[in-house]
């Protein structure tokens, strides 16, 4: 797999996704907020919607890779990788005592281990799996570690920028396992051999918490410039550390820090702003027209990384970076009432699979109409269950490779 992402809109060739599984059925009324859900999805329908989404991409010639498949292949026949992954996860979940039993391949198959890593593991399931009791609790229903229902949002745990990988650090503890799993795949799966993790590798403890950053806040403008949202999930301090690494070793020359409201409704930059073509963007005006304190990170002539407050507004920055006046498509076509509704259902979070070609939820009719009026081809998918985790098509994808096509200038 040759990784190569230089912008948000070139023709997509390969993408990483996760099909929702039994981890979704762990959600209850009592725990759904803890796991960052607004409601309890219906798993079978959710899987049907996700399958249709992936089929839409395959019909456009896109190679769709699955997180669980890559993880199983990573663990198979690599005992050292398996041991490191399980020990890291058990330590993160504060149950290091169970790691030796989970590493016993005579008792725990790769398939069984995979199920536990995504679905979570109760005390009773641990006993059934290993034949050993867990003496610290008498509850048969207690969780040794919880599920990962947000794993289908593969955008967040890692991002490919040019030919390298940024391994992200999740803001909420309940999502840490997604980072650990995804990082292990990029570090050890043969498909990704030879690629560098620019930021957040397993041997980079100084980049760990509290330096949190999530992939939904990272938007690639071009080969030289990246936008990063300072948001509910991504700290400004992290952006500075990431800018240093990306400029030093990642080939990026300009890093823009974009502050957005630290509210759940606007959890990531890509919930209020996406790029659908060269010099064409979709944005939610309620947030994007009220930005303040944009910060630019660059390298000074003396070689140091500097930061300064931008005098330009985002419209001017985008126009300068694209080399032409940017075209803005507003959520719901600018209708304030419907923009508020469709912002909630990820109308802005469309996913570009090529120049002027996007995938969006069919329920966001006014945003899709505004895109179509602007000459953007829309592939519409159902998302009534998928959207219950507050994420759209861009959230559900980690692009791995794009191929440049001709751009109208």
- Residue 299 pairs in a beta bridge with 305
**pLDDT the model gives residue 137:** 55
- Name the most confidently modeled range: 76-90, 238-252, 348-362: 348-362
Element (H, E) at 240: helix 236-249
Question: Is residue 211 scored above 90 in pLDDT?
Answer: no
Separation CA 172–CA 177 (nearest Å)? 10
pLDDT at residue 140 greater than cutoff 50: no
Q: What is the pLDDT of residue 203?
A: 78
Band of the pLDDT at 138, cuts 50, 70, 90? very low
Is the pLDDT assigned to residue 121 strictly greater than 80?
A: yes
| Beta pairing class for 327-330 and 280-283 | parallel
DSSP E strands: which ranges in 30-80? 63-66
- Tokens standing for 270? 């890509």
409 pLDDT band, cuts 50/70/90, is very low
**Bond preceding residue 231 cis, omega within 30 of 0:** no
pLDDT at residue 71, as a whole number: 96
Q: How would you classify the pairing of strands 280-283 and 273-277?
A: antiparallel
**How is the chain split into domains, by residue range?**
11-64+152-164+211-403, 70-145
Least confidently predicted of 96-105, 111-120, 246-255:
246-255
Q: Are the C-beta atoms of residues 227 and 215 closer than 8 Å to each other?
A: no
Residue-level pLDDT at 318? 97
Q: What is the pLDDT of residue 45?
A: 98
**Using an 8 Å Cβ cutoff, are 328 and 281 in contact?**
yes
pLDDT value at 368 more than 70: yes
Q: What is the residue-averaged pLDDT of the chain?
A: 92
290-316 pLDDT tens trace: 998 999 999 988 888 899 999 999 999
pLDDT at residue 262 above 70? yes
Catalytic residues: 395
> Residue 290 class from Cβ within 10 Å (0-12 exposed, 13-18 middle, 19+ buried)?
exposed
Sign of CA dihedral 317, 364, 10, 272: positive
Helical spans, DSSP H, in 189-335: 236-249, 285-288, 314-322
Fold of 11-64+152-164+211-403: 3.75.10
User: β-strands 225-230, 254-259: how paired?
Assistant: parallel
């Amino acid at each position: 797999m040759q990784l190569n992402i230089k912008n948000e809109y070139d023709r997509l060739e390969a993408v990483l996704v996760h099909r929702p599984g039994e981890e979704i059925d762990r959600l209850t009324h009592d725990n759904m907020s803890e796991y960052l859900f607004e409601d309890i999805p219906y798993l079978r329908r959710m899987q049907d919607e996700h399958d249709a989404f992936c089929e839409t991409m395959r019909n456009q010639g896109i190679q769709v890779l699955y997180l669980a498949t890559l993880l199983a292949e990573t663990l198979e026949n690599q005992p050292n990788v398996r041991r490191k992954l399980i020990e890291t996860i058990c330590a993160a979940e504060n149950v290091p005592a169970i790691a030796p039993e989970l590493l016993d391949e005579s008792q725990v198959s790769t398939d069984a281990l995979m199920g536990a890593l995504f679905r979570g593991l109760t005390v009773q399931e641990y006993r059934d799996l290993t034949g050993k009791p867990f003496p610290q609790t008498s509850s048969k229903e207690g969780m040794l570690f919880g599920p990962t229902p947000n794993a289908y949002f593969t955008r967040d745990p890692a991002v490919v920028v040019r030919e390298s990988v940024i391994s992200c650090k999740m803001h909420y503890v309940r999502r840490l396992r997604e980072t650990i799993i995804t990082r292990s795949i990029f570090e050890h799966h043969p498909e990704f051999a030879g690629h560098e993790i620019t930021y957040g590798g397993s041997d980079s403890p100084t980049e760990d918490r509290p330096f949190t950053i999530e992939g939904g806040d990272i938007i690639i403008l071009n080969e030289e410039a990246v936008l990063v949202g300072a948001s509910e999930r991504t700290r400004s301090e992290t952006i500075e550390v990431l800018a240093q690494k990306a400029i030093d070793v990642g080939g990026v020359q300009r890093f823009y820090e974009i502050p957005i409201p630290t509210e759940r409704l606007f959890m990531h930059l890509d919930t209020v702003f996406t790029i659908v073509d060269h010099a064409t963007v979709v944005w939610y005006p309620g947030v994007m027209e009220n930005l303040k304190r944009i910060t630019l990170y660059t390298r000074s002539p003396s070689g140091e990384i500097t930061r300064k407050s931008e005098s330009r507004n985002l419209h001017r920055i985008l126009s300068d970076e694209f080399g032409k006046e940017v075209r803005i498509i507003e959520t719901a076509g600018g209708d304030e009432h419907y923009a508020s509704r469709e912002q909630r259902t990820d109308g802005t979070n469309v996913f570009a699979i090529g120049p002027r070609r996007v995938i969006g939820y069919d329920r966001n009719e006014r945003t899709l109409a505004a895109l179509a009026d602007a000459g953007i081809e829309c592939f519409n998918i159902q998302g009534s269950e998928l959207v219950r985790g507050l994420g759209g098509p861009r959230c559900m994808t980690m692009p791995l490779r794009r191929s440049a096509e001709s751009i109208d200038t």
